[in-house]
Structure 1
């Protein structure tokens, strides 16, 4: 069985620039929509169109796939057709200041109402003092005060008259009124009084007692008269305030007569202004003091008229459409809003004017875009978002109060009804973890918008890809690309997709490449971005990140890392692995060795035994053990102990792409046939001996090629890959040219027999009609070794039984 190397044209299917009917991308129109994302487009159309509760969206795909741009474009088109949401504001609750009222107005009227209320306060501050300085007010108040004074004077005059009729003096002392007898208009002293006849004394005492009772009643009536006078003055004050206030508030009331909540608020404002009219009157502007020291202006409380202000949370333009909000930091307060506090007299205080909106407020009536990972990283944010979506209302609560960290009195603002579509952007694994671990997730995010990583490569999509490149160049104000540069970009897109039949849809990588190519075009003074500029951008990208790769290759060339590229060795083979460092990945050869001996054991994976092998790698070793047991010595017990190891491997080993190389090394060890070291191998194997596809095939081939080229290409070196990986080949141009010159080769392998024949130069061999392999074949030699192991083990067991019997 002969395995032929792949021809050069199979190693990289270049995009043909001659298929394009343009010279530069300036000739192309902008791309409408997104290519290769039909599934995501249908999901977006469905999810954004359904108005029922719970139909929020999760856009899943790798970072940089263009999820955000596509979602925003869809939302922008929809938002323009959606009704404009209401303006929302908080106002003071005059009954309970801790529970401010939330009020809505049609879009554009929120700012207007706020300005109207500010102007109303200014008008009140001017009108109320004026009415209390008017002649009418002073005249009417003076009349009431005069009536009180007249009433008091009349009452005391009547008392004076009654006292004089009975020859009793009414005396006004610093401590109050008192009564005393008099004679001949002279007040009698105690000695003089006691000299009077006894009957006259008794009569005077009775008169004084009666007058004292009447005086007491009169004096007790005076406070009531004063109270009545104050009530009349207060009634006058309210009447005068009403006359000054009513027409001002009524003008605002008329303007918003169709909004019941606003009318109710204005009614409460009018009542509060009338009840607290004195707050609008001039007063001494004395600053408050603390322990005799004047306080700074910052520590004073807010002015009285702040209670009539409007705290406008949301204001929309009358023709702005539905809002689209992206919250970059979706923390608890940034989502639902917060209540701020101010320091006053050593304590924290707050009021309705210090309520601040969150992203949910700003997106209410429209769309909210959030990054899923950022959301999950914020404490309480995920649970809060779910609660808000379930309840359908935004309730602002202090996080400190929720967690009981502080006991400072805060507000309980009235909740605002919520109607919003939430779109989460995130990686696939986050979506599936949420779906598996959070039972409420599927209830609230019913629509998955799954973005494809790549698209089918055909002439139709290549043309659209050119339009995409043109669109990105114009969006980012870059130089136009000629058609050869576009073809090179498409070639690079195939490499990013790891498939010569697919194109990558990763927008960030594509944009980065075009931007960097534009830089190099500028460095060369080009007016257009050429193929060479794109190639230089690609090489510069790789060079900036290939320090580790170069160091590893240098150590191989210097002999520190032992990799053979010529000669033949039994039980030794060059495996290929891919190293991932951030966005950079590169291939690197590893020496794999195998040893086999007689024992009642199994194939030992040294990497697994020392816990450096991952579960997938261990699975691959178990599979090759199954292959050995299933193919050879069906009539004999397997008496084999073998060990496999990645030499000079000091880190973890994962994946099964080296399982075919490990099997080749084991077959070499069992057959005694040496493996040609000019080859490197990649591919996984199943229990039937079929070689299966693996990832990173291009990087693996290029990694071994770089080592061989540095040492000198012999013309016999090459790489064995699974046949199924042929469609994934997009190799570098220098590798393709080396193959074309006969200096390097890539061999497609379908099964283990093809590979071992190529590696050893000996036919693998198949069973004849008698069920036996040819003696000189690889399989014949392996089976002969296993039979020999089994017979020796049986002989050893029989001798052990005989020795045991003699001892007994």
Structure 2
């Protein structure tokens, strides 16, 4: 059937839109044609059970990110504000910092309060330990020690004098010496002049006193320890009094928060235990600097590391992490260099996207997550556990065994939304058993919507909305009508409109550019056309080079006359997001054989499985239609001429069948027609993709060689609704310079290409001799007879042929 020009393209009447420019239209505040995806998002966000995270799947350009962001931000206002989280020192196990949960906005206050507390602590301790009261009490303790020491020594000294012996204090220690009757220290000579008994008596007494003195001196460490304990207790009492009022003030400020109050109690206890180190003073120079660093390190333990701060937030967080690496997802532990070594503490714990999104929503690009080492596994582990555990990538891989920080996990409650293409979703569903447990909700985005009066009006509002958001000039009704026609072209369907709004937005922006350059306001249909043509030209270098080689005769394509076993098939190529049609010559050769049809593309591994399937279907068609009573005694070959790349798809199977039948029947085919379509074993012509690009590819060849009025293309009748051809093709058809034919069966295509009646089989399965099918059947019968003859013994073969 030859199609009329009006059937080749949907035309949108600007008058039917009911407005002059888009300034008259209100914004469209929801996504056009995405009702299914919106329902899924609404369900997923409202479902509070574990595992109901969302995967938003669909083609790029349908504004998945924008629609997801819009719904998340709207839902975020219905949620409670999430808590703040701080890491603080664990005084019992410093390598395992504790996490403190505070109400939203209180985390920053707590951190600042602890910073102020540390600053006030210095002054308070200094004042307490430099006070007269402290000095007096310490001096009393020290004096008690000295008095106890003097009392013991004086007692021994008095006892020695009563026995004529004196206790001498020297730099080397204590010593005893006998006295004369005058009370003077006896010289060695005088001592030796005494009789032996007297000397022995004095010696024994000195030994006894020395033993007494030794017993007294042995009590000194005990007294010193008691003194130090008293001083330590004094320091503890003083420190407790000095910081007690500071801690109590903080505890009152955070009264309902039990965990915070417990931590403040631990801070106070640690200050009391380490007050000596906090008050230590070194000498001038390096020792003083080192002591200051040590004190500062002690004071850092009393501060807080705020990792989640929701101060000033009015709704739950909506976080999009553009670089979802392992560290940026779950956080990291940093290190600093000190004296040639790497050290760390809880202040160097850094939050990840999961921390920032806690209590709200985290949006991730699925492909990026899967491409980062261990990021996908870390995300799944975190969602299963319901907590964020920070560990380095090396620890996760088991590559290091040194002791590092092991921060307490942060409890997690959030919704994760993965955004990605459909293929990734299906692969994850099939290959990852945990995926369906964690992402139970699929929000499937459409690329097309039905064309109706209602959707047409909504689409116009969507154009108006995009124009205002992008600060473009308004579009006239004619301009919007041209955009709608372009949307039908992108959808490749007269009854559908593409809702890949990013592509439409690009068209609007580029049309606005041309309108401004031409001084147009509003943007007219001509500006939209200019934008479409300019984009096609920018991406058209490969198409133009291929077209040029056809016109120069490098690629052999005939567009007039007839040829046997040769036809122009229509193919489509896609490069860089742009598709274009290209005619390709298909040829066939046939002879006697065992019924095999050789697909040369398949034999040289250039044909894909779908293409090979199409060729095998041809074999079934031939055998069922023309060789029911005889064996199919055919050996044929099919090939795409001058094809040096892969061939895939079955859209050329109609062309291959016509070529094969032509060479069998020895009937030429028209070369001013090109054909596309798939066939089944019953001879029905099935629809194919890329029909518009295919038609336009052959049209350009015919146009540049000169339109004769006989040229045209043959397409499946089922593709009629997909026709959205360029206006110049429609105009050529209207002027009878070019034709588009739609066929439902192989026989209809045969009659177009040969000018012969196809022929209808009778009850015996035979076709009339003067028909094309009859010629095919007769030729196959002849081949079968020749094959039979070649199978006979030589004598019988001579007799059957009448040879002497």
Query: Do both proteins adopt the same fold according to a TM-score greater than 0.5, normalized to the shorter chain?
Result: yes
The 8 Å contact of residues 300 and 344 in structure 1, kept in 2 or not, is answered as no
Q: 1:639 to 1:314 in 2, by over 3 A?
A: same
TM-superposed deviation, 1:172:
2.0
The alignment partner of 1:89 has SS state of: strand
Q: CA deviation at 1:195?
A: 2.5
Secondary structure class of the residue paired with 1:186: coil
Displacement of 1:187 in angstroms is 2.9
User: 1:203 aligns to what?
Assistant: 201
Corresponding residue for 1:222?
Answer: 220
Residue 693 (str. 1) matches residue 687 (str. 2): yes
1:743 to 737, 743, 747: 737
Tell me what 1:117 maps to. Answer: 114
Cα offset, 1:431, TM superposition = 0.5
Q: For 1:162-218, what per-residue CA distance to the aligned partner results, in whole angstroms no more than 9, with x for missing partners?
A: 121112121223332121223233333444433311111121112111111111111
Give the Cα–Cα distance (whole angstroms) in 2 for the partners of residues 579 and 286 of structure 1: 81
Find the counterpart in structure 2 of residue 646 from structure 1.
Answer: 640
Counting only pairs closer than 5 Å after superposition, residues 371-770 of structure 1 correspond to structure 2 as 371-770=365-764
The answer for the alignment partner of 1:238 in structure 2 is 236
Q: Is the 8 A contact 2:790 2:797 kept in 1?
A: no
Q: Is the Cα–Cα contact under 8 Å of residues 586 and 659 in structure 2 kept in the other structure?
A: yes
1:10 maps onto 2:4 in alignment: no
Aligned match for 1:79, one of 76, 81, 98: 76
Contact 1:400 1:406 in 2 (8 A): yes
Query: Match for residue 185 of structure 1?
Result: 183
Deviation per CA, 1:775-798: give whole Å up to 9, x if none: 121100000000000011111111
Alpha-carbon distance between aligned partners in 2 of 1:372 and 1:364, rounded to the nearest angstrom: 19
Change in Cα spacing, 1:501 to 1:128, as seen in structure 2 (3 Å) is same
Report if aligned partners of 2:388, 2:410 keep a CA contact under 8 Å in 1: yes
SS in 2 for 1:203: helix
User: Of 23, 28, 32, which residue of structure 1 is paired with 2:29?
Assistant: 32
Gap change, CA 1:23 and 1:267, over 3 Å in 2: same
By how many angstroms is 1:97 displaced? 0.3
1:108-187 alignment, distance < 5 Å: 108-183=105-180, 184-187=182-185
Between Structure 1 and Structure 2, how many residues are aligned?
A: 798
Deviation at 1:772, TM superposition (A): 2.3
Provide the rounded CA distance (Å) in 1 between the counterparts of 2:496 and 2:5: 19
Pick closer, same or farther for the CA change 1:305–1:484 going to 2, 3 Å: same
Find the aligned partners of 1:496 and 1:559 in 2 and give their Cα distance: 32
Q: Distance in 2 between matches of 1:794 and 1:158?
A: 144
| Separation (CA, whole Å) in 1 of partners of 2:451 and 2:286 | 78
In structure 2, the CA distance between the partners of 1:693 and 1:250, relative to structure 1 (3 Å rule), is same
CA deviation map 1:33-57 (0-9, x unaligned): 1121111111111111111111111
Would the alpha carbon gap of residues 727 and 164 (structure 1) be closer, same or farther in structure 2, given more than 3 Å must change?
same
TM-score (norm 1): 0.96
- Which deviates more, 451-460 or 237-246? 237-246
Does the 8 Å CA contact 2:106/2:311 hold for their aligned counterparts? no
Structure 1 residues 365 and 285, CA gap change in structure 2 (3 angstroms): farther
Tell me the SS of whatever aligns to 1:798: coil
Looking at structure 1, the residues matched to 780 and 295 of structure 2 have their Cα atoms a distance apart, in angstroms, of 95
C-alpha distance after superposition, 1:121-162 (max 9, x if no partner): 111111110111111111222222222222222222222211
Shift of 1:288: 5.1
Are residues 1:100 and 2:97 paired? yes
Q: Distance in 1 between matches of 2:499 and 2:269?
A: 65
How much has 1:801 moved relative to structure 2?
8.2
Equivalent residue for 1:348, pick from 342, 349, 354: 342
Deviations 1:479-510 (A, max 9, x none): 11111111111111111111111011112111
**Distance in 2 between residues matched to 1:63 and 1:187, nearest whole Å:** 111
Contact 2:569 2:676 in 1 (8 A): yes
2:306 counterpart SS class: strand
The 3-state SS of whatever aligns with 1:376 is helix
1:655-710: CA deviation from partner (whole Å, max 9, x where unpaired): 00000000000111011111110000000000000100000000000000011111
2:56 corresponds to which of 55, 59, 73 = 59
Cα RMSD for the two superposed structures:
2.0
**In 1, are the aligned partners of 2:281 and 2:291 still within 8 Å (CA)?**
no
Q: 1: CA distance between counterparts of 2:553 and 2:308?
A: 70
Q: Distance in 2 between matches of 1:403 and 1:287?
A: 45
Q: Is contact 1:299–1:345 with CA below 8 Å preserved after alignment?
A: no
Q: CA deviation at 1:610?
A: 0.5
Q: Deviations over 1:517-557 (max 9, x none)?
A: 12212222223222111111111111111100000000000
SS in 1 for 2:581: strand
Structure 2 SS opposite 1:715:
coil
Q: Is the 8 A contact 1:17 1:484 kept in 2?
A: yes
Gaps of 5+ in 2: 799-804
Alignment of 1:280-299 (within 5 A): 280-281=278-279, 283-284=281-282
Match of 2:318 in 1: 324
> How far did 1:233 drift?
1.6
Aligned-residue offset at 1:409: 2.2
2:802 maps to what in 1? none
Q: 1:761 to 1:287 in 2, by over 3 A?
A: farther
1:247-287: per-residue Cα shift (whole Å, max 9, x none)? Answer: 01100011111111000000000011112223443734766
Q: Secondary structure at the match of 1:580?
A: strand
Which range moves more in the overlay, 175-184 or 629-638? 175-184
Contact 2:566 2:669 in 1 (8 A): yes
CA distance in 2, matches of 1:301, 1:193: 61
Picking from 21, 42, 45, the partner of 1:45 is 42
| Higher mean C-alpha displacement, 529-538 vs 423-432 | 529-538
Larger mean CA deviation between 612-621 and 185-194 belongs to 185-194
Q: Which runs of 5+ in 1 are unaligned?
A: none
Whether the aligned pair in 2 keeps the contact of 1:129 and 1:280 (CA below 8 Å) is: no
Bigger drift between 163-172 and 98-107 goes to: 163-172
8 Å contact kept, 1:288–1:300: no
Specify whether residues 569 and 285 from structure 1 end up closer, same or farther in structure 2 by C-alpha distance, changes over 3 A only.
farther
Identify the residue that residue 259 of structure 2 maps to in structure 1: 261
Q: What SS does structure 1 have at the residue aligned with 2:628?
A: coil
Aligned equivalents of 1:475, 1:408: Cα separation in 2: 54
Aligned equivalents of 1:228, 1:711: Cα separation in 2: 115
- With over 3 angstroms needed to count, the CA separation of the structure-2 counterparts of 1:49 and 1:476, relative to structure 1, is same
* SS in structure 1 of the partner of residue 791 of structure 2: helix
Distance (whole Å) between structure 2 residues aligned to residue 590 and residue 14 of structure 1: 31
Q: Does 22-31 or 92-101 show the bigger shift?
A: 22-31
Equivalents in 2 of 1:451, 1:391: separation in Å? 30
